[in-house]
Amino acid sequence: MSVSFPIDLRSDTVTRPTPAMRKAMAEAEVGDDVFGDDPTVNRLQERVARLTGKEAALFVPSGSMGNQTCIRAHTEPGDEIIGHEHSHFYFYEAGAPCALSGCSLRLLRGEGGLFDEDDVRAALRPPTSHFPQSRLVIIENTHNKGGGTIWPIERIRAIRAVADEFGLRMHLDGARLWNASVATGIPIAEWAKPFNTVSMCFSKGLGAPVGSIVAGSAAVVQRVHRFRKMFGGGMRQAGILAAAALHALDHHVERLAEDHRNAKRLAETIADVPGLSVDPRKVQTNIVFFDVDPDLATAQALCDALKASGVLMLPVGPRTVRAVTHLDVSAEQITAAGTAIARIVRTRLVVA
């Protein structure tokens, strides 16, 4: 069977709309969403509110805007946010919590992007005038820089108990929550239940070209709506994009299990290549991180050599490479990518 190149494993954001998704977009009924008149957007918001078990939902242009509008809705300038030091809201969102919401950050450590209720309790500021006020806990599930780690739901519930004890709010960065749900069988609503707000992306594993969504109580989502406007995220005939998201919910959720299988297979292949190291047992969803031996190459040099062979991966550190499986990568392409990696390393086509 022939395999098409390039094989793009840099991210699940590189997915392109399928022909069926494009058809749904072209046929979408639209209106002016800023006026609340887009029927397709409204249908998507109502569906996700039901799916998450929340009162309301709001379509937003990106996952970063979803996170940042929720942060602004939950906090006031001078408040403090508790989260992991490798969380997307901190690491990849251009300093937005400080710039847009005026919040300080209390960053925690933990393997795979995880922390626990004792970590949160220890991070709380004394309630005096000398300190920022601990206000919001953010959890990312699955955790991107943790390698697609799935949070144990019991740990989330334990953190919720601490949040309730001290009057904290909780936000779930669920950009890849669909992956966590498919991998565990735990419904989206159960994952979302401990949180005041949840944001989820359609433009990663679900394959839509643009868009995320925020869900929470009606009052909080109204505040998120205001801050979406303030941050420049209001859209007009957005039903074209919402139609892609609705199509993804109908056709692309359960198939995420295929991405998970492909990621595991890729990790198993890489683990057998001398000079590369990965533990396939830690690959829980669709993200694979592996390390390159210093005697072999840098991560950048390996990725450059792979690119010349039609395989795209992302160097995320001097010796670390990330590969993400998704809708546009088949099982046959995963086999071809593994073959390319083994050949390049075996023939020493990379230079340290």
At residue 177, does pLDDT exceed 80? yes
* pTM for this predicted structure: 0.96
Q: What pLDDT digit, counting tens, does each position of 62-118 carry?
A: 999 999 999 999 999 999 999 999 999 999 999 999 999 999 999 999 999 999 999
- Please name which of 305, 303, 181 lies closest in space to residue 253, comparing C-alpha atoms: 181
**How much of the chain, in percent, has pLDDT values that exceed 90?**
96
At residue 135, does pLDDT exceed 50? yes
E strand residue ranges, the chain = 7-8, 56-60, 79-84, 104-108, 133-140, 169-174, 197-201, 212-216, 276-277, 287-292, 311-312, 314-315, 320-324
Average pLDDT, the chain: 96
State the pLDDT at residue 352.
47
| pLDDT band of 1, cuts 50, 70, 90 | low
Report how far residue 58's alpha carbon sits from residue 48's, in angstroms, rounded to the nearest whole number: 9
| pLDDT band of 129, cuts 50, 70, 90 | very high
At residue 324, does pLDDT exceed 90? yes
Three-state DSSP class for 325? coil
CATH of domain 255-346: 3.90.1150.10
Averaged pLDDT for residues 4-32: 97
Per CATH, which fold does 19-251 belong to?
A: Aspartate Aminotransferase; domain 2 (3.40.640)
Averaged pLDDT for residues 238-246: 98
Helices then strands, counting H and E runs in the chain, come out as: 14, 13
Return the structure tokens found at 332: 């046959």
State the pLDDT at residue 347.
84
Domain-by-domain residue ranges, the chain?
Answer: 19-251, 255-346
Report how far residue 172's alpha carbon sits from residue 87's, in angstroms, rounded to the nearest whole number: 11
Report how far residue 79's alpha carbon sits from residue 173's, in angstroms, rounded to the nearest whole number: 19
Angle at 113 between CA 352 and CA 298, to 5 degrees: 5
